[in-house]
């Protein structure tokens, strides 16, 4: 479990999407050996559900394992879905919610994301709530409006709770495209999110790590993580190879 502190922890997380079989997960974790020690970042990976157990049983104790998505109900006739209690029973401690691929390819709405966030919190999984604008929304000058709308929906169920959660700002146009937001773009969006969290959550907002995601690679990770208000990264493609993911984790600043 990632531990809450008075400054946001640096977190480096890998979203394996629909890659990495159980055998691949074991092989990855055998080879995955970033620099550890005081001040080093917290690290998490999000395998596909089918590989979760393999990852949990091969992971070192410092590595958090999470699901990429959960259903808001605890159980029932929901073919193909995984609930928070099932994820917890398999050893997950974290979950992504509202990843842009869920929103844009599978039609998840803000209210679905809010229900999933509430379910994660209720059952004790730490949610990483993902927000981000499309290119058209950016060009229309709507970045703040869109990410605040997405944040507000999730905050409704987080505001009254003493619970831990993370945010990930992932501009849709930067995911899997090789287009990265500049550190300044990331800082601007993150400070908008931080400001709104302070309004809603008070001092607690300063403990929430805000990760940047979208074409993070070994070569741009250090610069992004050095930017103001960027407390780590959520990495897709470059987290699939242990060598590349180690370079990203090792590029995180000490905190
Ligand atoms: P990417 O994906 O690093 O491959 O752009 C990031 C994500 O979708 O979380």
Tell whether ligand 1 has an atom less than 6 A from the beta carbon of residue 213: yes
Tallying the residues shown for the chain, one arrives at: 255
Q: What residue numbers bound the domain in which 195 lies?
A: 11-30+38-251
CB of 95 closer than 8 Å to CB of 127 = yes
Where do runs of H (alpha helix) occur along 32-142?
52-58, 84-89, 100-105, 110-123, 135-139
pLDDT digits 0-9 by tens, 231-242: 999 999 999 999
Q: Identify whether 67 is part of a domain.
A: yes
What distance in angstroms lies between residue 234's CA and the mean position of ligand 1's atoms? 7
- Which residue's CA is minimally distant from atom 3 of ligand 1? 236
Ligand 1 closest atom vs CA 238: 3
Using the 8-state DSSP alphabet, how is residue 40 labeled?
Answer: P
Q: Looking at the domain assignment, is residue 146 inside a domain?
A: yes
Label residue 94 by pLDDT band (50, 70, 90).
very high
Tell me, what CATH number does 194's domain have? 3.20.20.70
In a domain, residue 18? The reply is yes
pLDDT given at position 217: 97
Looking at residue 162, its pLDDT comes to 78
Whether the CB of 179 sits within 6 Å of ligand 1: no
Count Cβ atoms below 10 Å from residue 99 Cβ, excluding itself. Answer: 28
Band (pLDDT 50/70/90 cuts) for residue 6 is: low
Helices (H) and strands (E) in the chain, counts: 10, 8
pLDDT digits (tens, 9 = 90+) for 135-157: 999 999 999 999 999 999 999 88
- Please tell me the residue having the least CA distance from ligand 1 atom 7: 236
Mind listing the pLDDT tens digit for each residue in 32-52?
Answer: 999 999 999 999 999 999 999
**Number of independent structural domains in the chain:** 1
Q: Whose CA is nearest to atom 2 of ligand 1?
A: 236
14 in contact with ligand 1, CB cutoff 6 A: no
Cβ neighbours of residue 101 under 8 Å, at least 6 residues apart? 17, 175
Let me know if residue 2 belongs to a domain: no
pTM for this entry = 0.96
Q: Which atom of ligand 1 is nearest to the CA of 96?
A: 9
Give the DSSP H or E segment for 143. helix 143-158
Q: How many CB atoms lie within 10 A of CB 41?
A: 26
| DSSP E strand stretches across the chain | 11-15, 42-46, 63-67, 94-97, 126-131, 166-169, 210-213, 232-235
Residues labelled catalytic? 99, 170
Q: Is the CB of 216 under 6 A from ligand 1?
A: yes
Position 4 confidence tier, pLDDT thresholds 50, 70, 90: very low
CB 215 near ligand 1, within 6 Å: yes
Eight-class DSSP state of 15:
E
Question: Environment class of residue 52 by beta-carbon count within 10 Å: exposed (0-12), middle (13-18) or buried (19+)?
Answer: buried
Token reading at 229: 């208000």
Q: Which atom of ligand 1 is nearest to the CA of 239?
A: 3
Give, in degrees to the nearest 5, the angle at Cα 217 between 214 and 222.
100
Q: Decide if 98 contacts 131 (C-beta within 8 A).
A: yes
Asked if residues 164 and 2 have their Cβ atoms less than 8 Å apart, the reply is yes
């Amino acid at each position: 479990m990632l531990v809450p502190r008075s400054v946001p922890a640096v977190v480096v997380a890998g979203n394996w999407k629909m890659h990495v079989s159980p055998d691949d997960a074991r092989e990855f974790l055998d080879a995955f050996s970033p620099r550890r020690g005081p001040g080093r970042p917290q690290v998490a990976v999000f395998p596909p559900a089918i590989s979760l157990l393999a990852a949990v049983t091969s992971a070192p104790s410092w590595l958090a394992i999470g699901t990429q998505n959960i259903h808001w109900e605890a159980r029932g006739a929901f073919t193909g879905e995984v609930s928070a209690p099932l994820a917890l029973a398999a050893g997950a401690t974290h979950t992504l919610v509202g990843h842009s691929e869920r929103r844009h390819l599978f039609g998840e709405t803000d209210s679905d994301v809010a229900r999933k966030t509430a379910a994660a919190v209720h059952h004790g999984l730490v949610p990483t709530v993902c927000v981000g604008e499309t290119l058209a929304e950016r060009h229309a000058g709507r970045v703040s409006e869109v990410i605040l709308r997405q944040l507000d929906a999730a905050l409704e169920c987080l505001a009254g709770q003493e619970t831990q959660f993370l945010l990930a700002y992932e501009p849709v146009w930067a995911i899997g495209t090789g287009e990265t937001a500049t550190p300044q773009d990331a800082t601007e969006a993150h400070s908008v999110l931080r400001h709104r969290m302070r309004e809603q959550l008070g001092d607690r907002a300063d403990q929430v790590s805000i990760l940047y995601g979208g074409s993070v690679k070994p070569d741009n990770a250090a610069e992004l993580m050095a930017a103001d208000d960027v407390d780590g990264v959520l990495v897709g493609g470059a987290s699939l190879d242990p060598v590349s993911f180690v370079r990203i984790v090792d590029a995180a600043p000490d905190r």
